[in-house]
Amino acid sequence: MPRVPTYIIAEIGQAHDGSLGILHSYIDAVATTGVDAIKFQTHIAEAESSSAEPFRINFSYEDATRFDYWKRMSFTKEQWIGIKTHCEEVGLEFLSSPFSQAAVDLLESIGMKRYKIGSGEVTNFLMLEKIARTGKPIILSSGMCSFEEMDATVAFIESFGNDLSILQCTTSYPTPPERIGLNVIGELKNRYPKHRIGLSEHTANIATGIAGVTLGAEILEFHTVFDRAIFGPDASSSLTIAEVKELVQAIRYLEVAFQHPIDKNDLTPYMGLKKIFEKTLAINKDLPKGHLITFNDLEAKKPAAQGIAASQFKEVIGKKLLADKSKYDFLKIEDFN
């Protein structure tokens, strides 16, 4: 069965640091890379968080609490409309992960096409039901879930009939190679054969995405930043814009290869080359009439079809020459009795 093109998502997350101008500059930059979609996060601090929420990484020099940070990362409905419009104008699908019921309402009000669920929300059945009721496609990251938990979530969403995709993900920023879990891609394919399987990764290394697609990931998601040295919680686990371009080119290149399986038994393309590169038996020294050929007398020389094929050398060992032969002469059937 032909493979579908990989759906590639470049996530901005909080790389904009609350600046609408920086966010729009990311849209223009990502549009040059060839990805299919650009993803943000829709945070409504009062609905999703509280002053009791601790920082995952205490990186902020201007936010006293994580609640304050989410507040600074939020945008108005009008601003989200402008963001979505800009994405569509440059040929990118707009995606944004919600983290509250209120965020789902906001995204629905601006015409969200599909929903990407972050790993921390996969067991948030309250929000999942709200999203599932929209009837729109859902992409789930599985970074903090066991198979038992995923089974429950998948069964829950299946009961609504939404198109569902599931991503292997490791919630570690950045993710070291020993924790990527590339093996899980195949395990997810076997466990959930009705659904698209992909990879959401945080390694800051294009090799991860290439490996994931090679192993069958049909969706690939990663964070991107202008520079990994910038301020923010995800910068060190992100790809740069230049790396995203390189990754997309590699994936599209591989997709052409995947779409063109070859028949190893069909040698038609190589018949001319075989005549040039394959070899004919010869001798490596002057030999007199009556000499019995040994293994140590033999050489193989290009091109093919000048006499006895090199692959048939055993058939001439022990045979008697009918005439004198000079060093490096080809051997022919008529040289023997």
Tens-place pLDDT, residues 131-156: 999 999 999 999 999 999 999 999 99
Query: What pLDDT sits at residue 57?
Result: 67
**What is the CATH number for 75?**
3.20.20.70
Q: Which domain holds residue 303?
A: 268-335
Tens-place pLDDT, residues 196-229: 999 999 999 999 999 999 999 999 999 999 999 9
Say whether both 96 and 233 belong to one domain: yes
- CA–CA distance, 184 with 170 (Å, rounded to integer): 10
Q: Find all residues with CB under 8 Å of 166, minimum gap 6, and list them.
A: 139, 140, 142, 150, 154, 188, 192, 195, 196, 197, 198
Say whether both 156 and 286 belong to one domain: no
Query: In the chain, which residues have pLDDT < 50?
Result: 1
Say whether both 162 and 232 belong to one domain: yes
- CA–CA distance, 139 with 119 (Å, rounded to integer): 10
- CA–CA distance, 64 with 70 (Å, rounded to integer): 11
Say whether both 161 and 283 belong to one domain: no
Query: What pLDDT sits at residue 1?
Result: 46
Query: What pLDDT sits at residue 2?
Result: 55
Tens-place pLDDT, residues 228-246: 999 888 899 999 999 999 9
Which residue carries 């000499």 as its tokens? 291
Q: Is 20 a domain residue? A: yes
Say whether both 92 and 187 belong to one domain: yes
Q: Is 2 a domain residue? A: no
Say whether both 167 and 282 belong to one domain: no
Q: Is 148 a domain residue? A: yes
CA distances from 74 to 59, 223, 269 (A): 18, 18, 59
- CA–CA distance, 133 with 17 (Å, rounded to integer): 32
Say whether both 247 and 147 belong to one domain: yes
Say whether both 324 and 198 belong to one domain: no
**Amino acid present at 333:** I
Say whether both 73 and 124 belong to one domain: yes
Number of domains in the chain: 2
**What is the CATH number for 293?**
3.90.1210.10
